[in-house]
Amino acid sequence: MAQGARPDRVADQIRGELALLLARDVHDPGIGFVTLTRVQVTRDLQLARVYYTVLGDETARRNSERALGRAMPFLRRQIGSRLRLKRTPEIAFVYDDSIAGQDRIEQILNELHTEHDDDPGT
């Protein structure tokens, strides 16, 4: 979805800064192995949806979700001080299900390919 030039630039800046902050400054072990997949910023720059994935099972996902919620005020303050915007956008962390969907599709295709190779009639 095309957001426009400025929201795209702001989204890229937010993604970069959040990735650095999570790697260097947030010391909550509950975050785990979080990967920021993309950021979408509304046209008015008031809301930034940060999409992420987590390495691990459902428990790791829930722990990361809670830890990101705890870190959100700190992260928003840091974004506000690092980016030169009139207002710092609200940050909403959203789990990115698209990666899991892609993995499932790849698994199905591999199974079909294996079945096709095992079938002597083809």
According to the model, what pLDDT value does residue 66 have? 95
Instruction: Report the topology of domain 5-96.
Output: GMP Synthetase; Chain A, domain 3 (3.30.300)
What residue ranges do the domains of the chain occupy?
5-96
CA angle 57, 63, 68 (to 5 degrees): 125
Flag whether pLDDT at 1 surpasses 50.
Answer: no
Flag whether pLDDT at 2 surpasses 60.
Answer: no
pTM of the model: 0.77
Inter-residue contact 100 to 61 (CB < 8 Å): no
pLDDT per residue as tens digits for the range 34-84 = 999 999 999 999 999 999 999 888 899 999 999 999 999 999 999 999 998
According to the model, what pLDDT value does residue 117 have? 72
Please name the residues in contact with 33: beta carbons below 8 A apart, sequence gap of 6 or more: 54, 55, 56, 60
